[in-house]
Amino acid sequence: MAEDEIERRLAAVADGGADRDAVDRWACRQLLADGREWDETSRWALELLAGIDLRHGPGEPYLHDEEQVGEWLAEYRRRRRAEG
């Protein structure tokens, strides 16, 4: 299920173990897939992951650090629970 994969990718970035470039490419492919409809929570998370590899500048830190991504993961899980 794509929702499980979204959660796994968010968790991997939050833990610092993900290849951010690969996660970005994966999220972009999911968003651009022909005929694919996303629920609001999945789209929100995919839009965050698309661009997860952006930095302040060459050799600079990422725009979104692991702590912030961890907050996104917690919010994603909260939204999923609320959806029931």
E-strand ranges in 1-84 read: none
Query: Is the overall model pTM greater than 0.85, yes or no?
Result: yes
Query: At residue 2, does pLDDT exceed 80?
Result: no
Domain boundaries, the chain: 2-83
Query: At residue 1, does pLDDT exceed 70?
Result: no
Residue 15: strand, helix, or coil:
coil
Identity of the residue numbered 68: Q
Q: What is the pLDDT of residues 29-66, one digit of tens each?
A: 999 988 888 999 999 999 999 999 999 999 999 999 99
